[in-house]
Amino acid sequence: MSALPRIPALASRAATASALTAATLAASVLVPGLAVDAQAATAGEQALKVAAAKQGSPYQWGAAGPNRFDCSGLTQYSFKRVGKTLPRTAQSQYNSTRHISGGSRQTGDLVFFHSGSDVYHVGIYAGNNKIWHAPKPGTTVRLEKIWTNSVWYGRVR
């Protein structure tokens, strides 16, 4: 049996696949954010984007958004927006996460600042030894270098 009768059908399928591929590529160029990542972002990476979008929001003790934040309010708000529940304070957030080593940290993990066994501050790891956080009264949500070695890391489950 000859393959020649099947050539038009094969060519038609190839043209359809090429047209779909071309349309997908064109759409991803014309509409930023439409392209599908090879691997979906983790909840932590998504929460990191939420926190970064709050850049410039004023610090207010006890505030958990959407326009003002303290440190644990920012982390709680950011994870809640991506479907994850965190308790309210930095210490209880530390207690509720899976503790990981600094060598295992990934973007989107929580960074807990401590004095002895007491956690007093939290931010979201952004990579390159930096965090997004709500630092203190008189400041705003910002990206900042981790300033101490007295930190622990936690991954939201």
Q: Please, what sign has the CA dihedral across residues 33, 39, 40, 43?
A: negative
Choosing from 71, 122, 146, 151, which is the catalytic residue?
71
Residue 24 tokens read as 């997908």
Choosing from 68, 105, 121, 142, which is the catalytic residue?
121
Choosing from 68, 133, 142, 155, which is the catalytic residue?
133
Whether 63 is catalytic: no
Whether 99 is catalytic: no
Whether 133 is catalytic: yes
* CA distances (Å), origin 54, targets 22, 31, 140, 150: 36, 24, 9, 26
Catalytic residues: 71, 121, 133
